Amino acid sequence: MRENKLAKLARKIIKENIYLTLATGNKSPWAAPLYYCVDKDYNFYFVSQLNSRHVRNLSQNPHVSFAIFDSHQKEGAGNGVQGEGKNVCLNNRYYIKQGLKWYKTSFLKLSTDFLLGKNPYRLFKIKPRRFFILDPVAKVDKRVRVNVRQ
């Protein structure tokens, strides 16, 4: 029962926020705040430019970690979701069309042609492997694994 409450809290945090911090790694690790949208299976979508540092890192190493949290929470009272998974660049019409069912933005006018053309933007999908959340009743900071896909 307790695991269900923590998973529910994690889903709430994911759905109530719009930015995640994406950590990429290779010889030059990087963390980037990104606007995201999430699908029903808790895969994350974001759009970035091909020449950005995090995308260059992803081309060398698709494994990522991420954190989602509301930075306006009071110190010591906040919670957030951490996770790890694999990133995929959606680079064919079918997958882009599927991704655009979930990814919505007013920042750019997106289309399949725009995301495949000469424009520097591409649509990416993070397929999370594991999610973690801070246990709010633990006496010390303790991250616990949760299954948000229940």
Q: Where are the domains of the chain?
A: 2-146
- What is residue 27's predicted lDDT score, i.e. its pLDDT? 85
Residues of the chain with pLDDT below 70 are 1
Q: What is the pLDDT of residue 68?
A: 97
Q: In this predicted structure, what is the pLDDT of residue 140? A: 82
Give pLDDT, residue 141: 82
Residue found by looking up tokens 């009272």 in the block:
77
Task: Identify the architecture of domain 2-146 in CATH.
Answer: Roll (2.30)
Q: Give me the pLDDT at residue 100, please.
A: 97
pLDDT value of residue 82: 97
Q: What is the pLDDT of residue 95?
A: 97
